[in-house]
Chain A
Amino acid sequence: MNYIGEHLLPGKLGHFFLLLSFVSSIGATLSYFISVQKSRSLANNAGAAQWKKLGRLFFALEVVSVFAVFSILFYIISNHYFEYKYAWQHSSRSLEKEYLLSCFWEGQEGSFLLWSIWHCVLGSLIIWKEKEWEGPVMTVIAFAQVLLATMLLGFPGLHMGSNPFLLLRNSGVLDNAPVFSDMSGGIRQDYLSMIKDGNDLNPLLQNYWMVIHPPVLFMGFASTIVPFAFAVGGLWTKKYSAWTKPALPWTLFSAAVLGTGIMMGAAWAYESLNFGGYWAWDPVENASLVPWLILVAGLHTLVIYRHTGNALRTTFLFLLLSFLFVLYSTYLTRSGDLQDTSVHAFTGEGITKWHLRIFLLLFALPGLGLFFQRYKSIPFIAKEEEASSREFWMFIGSLVLFLAALLIITMTSIPVFNKILGLFNGQEKTFSTIALGEDATYSYNRIQIFVALILGLITGFGMYLKYKSTGTAFLKKLFLPAVIGLIAGILVVYFGKVNYQEKTVGYMVAIWAAVVTAVFSLVANAGYIFTGLKTNLKRAGGAISHVGFTTLLVGILISSSKKEVLSYNTSGIFMDFGKGSKEKAGENLTLLKGVKTDMGKFWVTYAKDSVHPEKPLWYYNLRFERKDGKENFTLTPNAFVNYKNQQGLMANPSAKHYWDYDIFTYITSLPDPAKNADTSSFRTVKASVGDTVFYSKGFAVVKNVQSFRNIPNVPLGPNDSASVATLDIFARTGSRYEGKPILINKDGQTFLQTDTLAAESLVFQLQKVEGKKIELGVKESESIMQYVTLKAYKFPFINLVWLGTIITVLGFIISLFYRRQQGRISKARLKIVKPSERSVKV
């Protein structure tokens, strides 16, 4: 049957390119594999070059197909072809142009496609730049492409993969909706005319960070395959040493990009999520941090090896594990197994968990298998390092990073442990399901605080040590920065009033120690750039990264330990939860419109609100006034209200930035608009002057009733009358108000001018006046209440977090260029001397 208005050609083309990409990636993998195998046998390496050429050809075809798939999908989304499920599900006509790309990473298929694209880009760079290692590295990348292609192919019959070009009518979404059915129960020929708009992008993703964060993060994830592939290549070809030189800049690249991606995610979380900060040890965050930590550990051991010949085995292990943990994290976050514990919106829909598990195993088994098989033949230095050598402490530092990563991933994997233990659970529950305890963040923090402490210390003095052996001369150079750093650190703790007393004293002391070591390291590394490196910035990448990293640490420590809740509720009614309850004053505070409310150092007024012209996005203007009168500012947190048939709100925070702190606020609750239909009615009460009228939250006293005749612009005739009742209203909260409802009789008609007391959600009506006796209408209504409930925090020194990140990444990039340049120089030298591989005496 032909359906009206469908555009089927792009989908057919897209599917063709998906198939082509699958086939060409298989071709590339096989060709590269054969070329490496052939070149390995010295006797018969004829044909290796031809196979390599064929591999390149296949990979070029792969690049073309993946980009074609991407472009076609983008074409479909930007033209709003809602006959395709992907476009319908993830976009809408009102979606701004800049967010069209974001549709890619809302869905599983688009995310994997993005990953695939980065592999294509990186692979092309490898072919261009890394001629020597092209074969093994490209075998690995092309193999990853095969697996990524299977994620998107959607084999008919097999529950495997998810095709982004699936038509809406074939997806099952329309099946049970009778509107779309024709007489025979099939789908109506003109069904498309009934689908006016798509489901739209999740409002949380409609944020500028979401345009840039996922592509960078995915490039980071994708790039970890390069060091992995070099390591595999080294093991495979048994050239255990030569790969380390080209792998070093790639590892730096990967660390820089992945680090940037992670922190962009943190910035996004800070700006548009509501867990009140930039980091919450959320599983999805952890899953991206762990590979980075291991990669940085591997980066350090790689540098050790390049300088001293030590730590090669560890380097292999770390660089292999870094990518494997990317795959493990992908499984964790995208299989849906984490659903219960994460705030992130990923599901197991589309791409099955088995597929992701197999993806992981197909890399883990050959990678680690090869590593253990060749372990004995990887060269190592039997003589042990001097305790005064730089490599010794770098190695310890790397191990600490690795250990920290392992602890984090273990804690994150609780749902996986539950799953595995669940397999052994029969009828009787031998293993109870475990979960993280009351203060999950603290569970992480109190372990990682020591990691921060040790890293601060090691990065501080480590730079002053020399490779191999240092002697005692370094102590002199270190003396000054150590003293300055120590004093500066103590000053920061003392004057910064870093007194985090919510937990144990030991924890507070640990925070102090960590701040002091981080500041010491910051000073020491900054000093080293001048004394040790003579301000030669080209070579200072490492020191600059350390300066950035310790700035980041100081920022993290201070901003989290000195985070203040501003919105402590001091007016609400508290329940007594009895002994043992750690209940504190709540963090939510309700602001009534127009009512100045006490909030810590501020008076806050919910002044007004406005709505986005095309979306149900509301902006709330909150006026902050310092009680000491020193400053005023307005924050505008916003929220999607009842967006796309969802009840409730999706709120985006707003922050006022100062150089040394941020005031951060977001909406947690709004009046239920469903209640806004005013259903309550007036209750009539008869009263005389001096009588008391009660309402649920207090009472009102009728003070007097007066008639008057002069109403501006309303001429009253001889038979007309106007009366006003004055009410003294005593609210239970202790506040006192005045109410003045008015009754006008004009030309035989009655006009009631009600008086509304928003703060008490109270409306008065003067219904009848007979001398001193009146009839008063009293209404209490939710609908007249306009209020917002919010949380507000003060984050001190959050800017150090962002600044530290930028400096760290800058350091990585400087190192990257320096190491590449070094590579070129030594290559040039090798051309003069006879090319020989650097080898290490066993």
Chain B
Amino acid sequence: MKKIHIALLLLAVAGIVGMSFFVKDLTTQETFSTAKEKSGKYVVVKTKLDNSVPIEYDAVKNPNLTVFYAVDSKGHRSKVVYTEAKIKDMERSEGLDLNGYMRDGYFECNKIQAKCPSKYKDDPAQAKKNLASGSANQY
């Protein structure tokens, strides 16, 4: 066996070890109910904001706490406690991917990926809204 083969073998092993670390770090997408079964495990839940209840965020009281309600893909609703400042345009988001743990009675999350209309300016539906409301010449 050549030296280069030994080196390749070592690198392959290193790569596999690296990959296994990565695989261990992976998590799964759940719904609120399946997340409940896995409480204590960090999961991702695809949800939509429940707009019927206002988002609670008081930067003066506690700037690191946002509380709101969200509905998952199965239609289940849950209280969500987000340990960060409220993200912008949350009310108009089209979807929220919550990253966190299912606790007793609420979902505690520390990361949210929001699908915001503002993020997608190329979205014609949003463009229409902007045009119709005449916002283009607000300033």
Contacts and interface: CB of A to CB of B under 8 A. Distances in A.
Interface of A: 89, 92, 94, 106-108, 171-174, 176-177, 179, 195-200, 202, 339-341, 345, 347, 349-350, 384-385, 387, 392, 395-396, 399-400, 403, 406-407, 410-411, 414, 432-440, 442-443, 446-447, 450, 569, 572-575, 577-578, 580-581, 583, 585-590, 592, 614-616, 644-650, 668-669, 671, 761, 785, 787, 789
Those 6 A-B pairs whose CB atoms lie nearest each other, nearest first: A586-B64, A648-B88, A645-B135, A433-B29, A588-B63, A349-B122
Nearest to B57: A669
Given A107-B122, A644-B135, A433 B89 contact: no
Contacts of A108: 122
Main DSSP-derived SS at the A contact region:
loop
20 contacts: A107-B122, A171-B124, A341-B113, A345-B119, A345-B121, A384-B2, A396-B7, A396-B11, A406-B15, A432-B28, A435-B27, A435-B28, A436-B27, A443-B21, A573-B62, A577-B108, A590-B59, A645-B135, A646-B117, A789-B63
Given A173-B127, A436-B25, A450-B14, 12 more contacts: A341-B113, A387-B3, A407-B19, A435-B29, A442-B25, A572-B64, A575-B65, A578-B103, A585-B64, A590-B60, A648-B87, A650-B88
Contact of A438 (B18, B27, B113): B27
A349 B123 contact: yes
Most buried by A among B27, B57, B88: B88
B86 interface: yes
A522 to B, nearest CB: 24
B139 A614 contact: yes
A672 to B, nearest CB: 9
Contacts, number: 207
Contacts of A435: 26-29, 44, 99
Interface string B25-56: 11111100000000010101000000000000
B42 A646 contact: no
A22 to B, nearest CB: 23
A645 B130 contact: yes
Contacts of B110: 438
Nearest to A649: B88
Nearest to A384: B2
Nearest to A569: B64
A94 B139 contact: yes
Contacts of A349: 120, 122-124
A89 B59 CA distance: 34
B131 A177 contact: yes
A174 B129 CA distance: 10
Interface in B89-124: 89-92, 97, 99, 101, 103-104, 108, 110, 113, 115, 117-124
A410 B22 CA distance: 10
Contacts of B78: none
A58 B41 CA distance: 61
Interface of B: 2-4, 7-8, 11, 14-15, 18-19, 21-22, 25-30, 40, 42, 44, 57, 59-65, 81, 83-92, 97, 99, 101, 103-104, 108, 110, 113, 115, 117-124, 127-133, 135-139
Given A407-B15, A435-B44, A648-B88, A590 B124 contact: no
A647 B55 CA distance: 14
A648 B89 contact: yes
A581 B108 contact: yes
Given A177-B132, A196-B136, A399-B11, A573 B61 contact: yes
Given A410-B22, A434-B26, A385 B4 contact: yes
B86 A669 contact: yes
Nearest to B23: A434
Given A385-B3, A392-B3, A411-B22, A197 B136 contact: yes
B79 to A, nearest CB: 12
Contact of A586 (B18, B19, B62): B62
Contacts of B22: 407, 410-411, 443, 447
Contact of A198 (B60, B113, B136): B136
A645 B138 contact: yes
B16 to A, nearest CB: 11
Contacts of B44: 433, 435
A94 B5 CA distance: 63
A455 B42 CA distance: 33
A447 B20 CA distance: 10
Contact of A432 (B29, B91, B119, B131): B29
Contacts of A392: 3-4
B128 to A, nearest CB: 6
Contacts of B135: 644-645
A410 B122 CA distance: 28
Given A177-B131, A669-B57, A106 B121 contact: yes
Contact of B122 (A350, A446, A583): A350
Contacts of B14: 403, 450
Contacts of A177: 128, 131-132
A668 B2 contact: no
Contacts of A406: 15
Contacts of A785: 60
Most buried by B among A350, A406, A648: A648
B89 to A, nearest CB: 5
Nearest to A180: B131
A171 B63 CA distance: 43
Contacts of A439: 25
B61 A668 contact: no
Contacts of B3: 384-385, 387, 392
Contacts of A385: 3-4
Contact of B139 (A202, A615, A647): A615
Contact of A433 (B28, B61, B64): B28
Nearest to A650: B88
B131 A174 contact: yes
Nearest to A645: B135
Nearest to A414: B26
A787 B85 CA distance: 14
